[in-house]
Amino acid sequence: MQRDDHPPVIGALSPDDAAAKLRELGDDATATALSNPEFRPRGAVMGVSDWWPFGDKPWQHTAHAFGYLGPACADDPSATSAPILPLGAVQADESLRHQRVNVTLNRLRVADYPGSGSHRVLFEFHATNHLDRDVSESLHFNHTYRVRSGERAALVGYPIFIGLGVGEGLGVRCYTVNVKNDSDEKFLDFLDSDVFKGGLKLATTAQPAIAPLSGLALGITRAIASRNRNVAVQDFFLGLDFSRDRMGARLAEGSYLAVQVPEKLQALWDWSDWVYSPATGEVVAADDPKQLIPYNYVVIGINRHRG
């Protein structure tokens, strides 16, 4: 789901604009392929994700497939794999209604981002903190992570929102920016400080400092994503509630996966083809534990707040 207040992800750019971004990042070969008029449908105005001829760039897609991994089962600690469920199969945990939860970043895997080598990924999280039935506050929190193409970031359970009020549901937006501008990298070093590593800790009443802090985080993301040599890659919204809507998604404790996939594959995606391997901490093919999922993905953890 693309937001109007942020620069579009690279998969939503026109071929010419995407090619210009790739040249900024030093990927002249892919930029040249994008600029080749032979590959483009005549008379059509499309983004890269609509027609890109090779289908081999995980960053080219704008769609996401969502799945759910339930909490660890104490009755079977020796299990070699854990099933991943489609969101429609998740049963809502009614005990979380009007309660508080902790939201964590459990995995960030970069199968391939624009450019090469090591990536500095600026990650923005957006959610609404429900203080009571009539009062809420909008939250923005961002952090940066370093990860190489084909690998995952060195993190597990990274705190984002601590004590987030649920209300009648919970919505989380995630937006990633591949930062290659040297000046911006130095500027973002302050996000690696201990102050930000603890996540955004929330209270049960409105906090005066939240609004300016969230505004600062939002402004940083907008500015960085628009700068030379930086490009947005992923943008998705995960809305979880307690309804019985077949096409919706239910809120429960566990991990929610968002995989950046081709739109044509989104409707055909079958989570039974993939499992979580506790031994390696990776999402792998159900019939081949050595085959990693070939797309960029993010895993958001949601757990009851016990503070």
Note the pTM of the prediction, 2 decimals: 0.86
User: Is 78 contained in some domain?
Assistant: yes
pLDDT at 69: 96
User: Is 259 contained in some domain?
Assistant: yes
pLDDT at 189: 72
Q: How far apart are CA 227 and CA 16, in angstroms?
A: 17
User: Is 26 contained in some domain?
Assistant: no
Give the chain's domain count.
1
pLDDT at 239: 95
User: Is 33 contained in some domain?
Assistant: no
Domain boundaries, position 210: 61-304
Residue whose structure tokens are 């391997």: 277
DSSP code, position 250: B
User: Is 275 contained in some domain?
Assistant: yes
Q: How far apart are CA 263 and CA 40, in angstroms?
A: 18
DSSP for 170-200, written as a single string: EEEEEEEEEE--HHHHHHGGGGGSHHHHT-E
Task: Return the exposure string of 280-302: e unless at least 16 CB atoms fall within 10 Å of the residue's CB, then b.
Answer: eebbbeeeeeeebbebbbbbbbb
Q: How far apart are CA 21 and CA 43, in angstroms?
A: 23
Side by side, the strands of the sheet bearing 230-241 are 136-148, 118-130, 169-179, 230-241
| pLDDT tens-digit profile, the chain (307 residues) | 445 578 999 988 888 888 899 898 888 888 888 777 665 555 445 566 555 555 578 888 899 999 999 987 645 656 788 999 999 999 999 999 999 999 999 999 999 999 877 899 999 999 998 887 777 888 988 888 999 989 999 999 999 999 999 999 999 999 999 998 777 777 777 666 665 666 677 765 556 567 667 777 778 888 888 887 899 999 999 999 999 888 899 999 999 999 999 888 887 899 999 999 998 899 999 999 999 999 999 999 999 998 7
What is the CB-side half-sphere exposure of residue 213 using CA atoms within 13 A? 20
User: Is 140 contained in some domain?
Assistant: yes
User: Is 250 contained in some domain?
Assistant: yes
User: Is 161 contained in some domain?
Assistant: yes
